[in-house]
Structure 1
């Protein structure tokens, strides 16, 4: 039987920005809300989640990603602001917004959708909204303190440079997701 690989395409986050976000998470954790915080080493900005992909199609995904980044130069990325999906009133996902670099991310994501569609992959229905997921709310009980803290907390990352896009494998383990690069596509 063909192996299925849980696959996504993403921008990896620099160590210094991950460290900043780790400090932010520690600050937010103090509220004691039931949130699954993303481990610093797993922080990434998803451009396209593909779900389960047959192992023989991974080459197509890497090829489409390579085609999508053709002619796109490295660019600066800067994160700012905190929010939640679907809203701060009933948060399920806690995120940090993209201040600088959103246009370039949008261009890459649009190209990815097109190149993957040409290879038989489904298009994303929702409009792309660049963000960095830092936590997933497990229970709405006792969430008020965290929401209040999110509303009051200012966050701005240092600038990082996006020089590559990575096709990743995601293996879900009891201890959390483990990500393994399947292909790296350089911006030049």
Structure 2
């Protein structure tokens, strides 16, 4: 069984920027467990534990979806959190992709996976990059610091750089005490214009 998801991986420039963001925000919130920037990705579909046959079907779905969508670019938009203000669970970096191609890619991929018997998350797609996971409730001072970061001016945290997307990746996730290790199983190149 292979713990599998389909995602956009970050390039080195994005990883450097996200490392800088995490470094800045972690000064205000040292008690939060921050993600290793080398492992940050934008998840399009989490599929869970798959047999070899299911993995082959997932790769087939990703290849088909990629062949139907043209390359695009996006920007990192703002910091936010999931969960309530009193008990946030995740700190994330948002993604701005005004052409709608990212949402189209997600819809096409979901359709291809569903046609192959995969159960699809029915919640609205909220493209983001997870920067931190918060396992236990934050102290009042930490909550205040997080809200200050999230509601304040985020200059220097967001990037005006545009990041190109030319492929989606079928990824393997292995969980260890030290954290998750991700391995790309298949790169699926987006449709090339003729």
Tell me if TM exceeds 0.5.
Answer: yes
Match of 1:96 in 2: 93
Q: Which runs of 5+ in 2 are unaligned?
A: none
Match of 1:186 in 2: 189
The more displaced of 79-88 and 17-26 is: 79-88
1:40-119 matches, cutoff 5 A: 40-100=37-97, 103-119=100-116
Alpha-carbon RMSD across the aligned residues, in angstroms, is 1.5
Q: Where do 4+ consecutive residues of structure 1 move more than 3 Å?
A: none
Match of 1:173 in 2: 176
Match of 1:150 in 2: 150
Over 3 Å counting, the alpha-carbon distance change for 1:167 and 1:95 in structure 2 is: same
Shift of 1:153: 4.5
Shift of 1:102: 6.8
TM superposition score normalised by structure 2: 0.89
SS where residue 98 of structure 1 aligns? strand
Over 3 Å counting, the alpha-carbon distance change for 1:163 and 1:101 in structure 2 is: farther
- Distance (whole Å) between structure 2 residues aligned to residue 139 and residue 102 of structure 1: 38
- Aligned pairs, number: 185
Shift of 1:110: 0.7
Shift of 1:164: 0.6
Shift of 1:89: 4.0
TM superposition score normalised by structure 1: 0.92
Residue-by-residue CA offset, 1:26-52 (whole Å, 9 max, x unaligned): 111112443221101101000000111
Q: Which runs of 5+ in 1 are unaligned?
A: none
Match of 1:140 in 2: 137
- Distance (whole Å) between structure 2 residues aligned to residue 88 and residue 10 of structure 1: 28
- Distance (whole Å) between structure 1 residues aligned to residue 88 and residue 41 of structure 2: 20
SS where residue 134 of structure 1 aligns? strand
